[in-house]
Amino acid sequence: QVQLVESGGGLVETGDSLRLSCARPGGTIRDYVMGWFRQVSGKEREFLASVSRNGVNTRSSDSVKGRFIISRDNVKDTVYLQMNSLEPEDSAVYYCAAAATIYADAVYWLDRKYTYWGQGTQVTVSS
């Protein structure tokens, strides 16, 4: 079982920045593609960004490209989502996810590729 724990969410104002973290307590993330998603109640889960096992490749959705940056630290077994220029439309529950793969440079943007999910962290952006 892969347990993922997100942190860093909260209430911020328009234009602020936040950095979300996702750790795997007691385990490694080295064997996994890592991704960030978000979901607003009543809406489908939305892909945000993915980073390859080796950290070289990333992919971001058009909706956050240029504002959100995904990165990973395989020594600390943590993946990050740096969120800049936040807008009220970014308010959602943010989830990290892990997908096992043998490919060091693969990235995934489909949620069905991910097996393990965190419990989510709420981000609220006030106008």
Question: Taking residues 7-36, what's their average pLDDT?
Answer: 96
Q: What is the pLDDT of residues 15-26, one digit of tens each?
A: 999 999 999 998
Residues 6+ apart with CB under 8 A from 95: 6, 36, 37, 38, 39, 45, 117, 118, 119, 120
Q: 59-70 burial, b if ≥16 CB within 10 A, otherwise e?
A: bbbeebeeebbb
pLDDT surpassing 90 at residue 30: yes
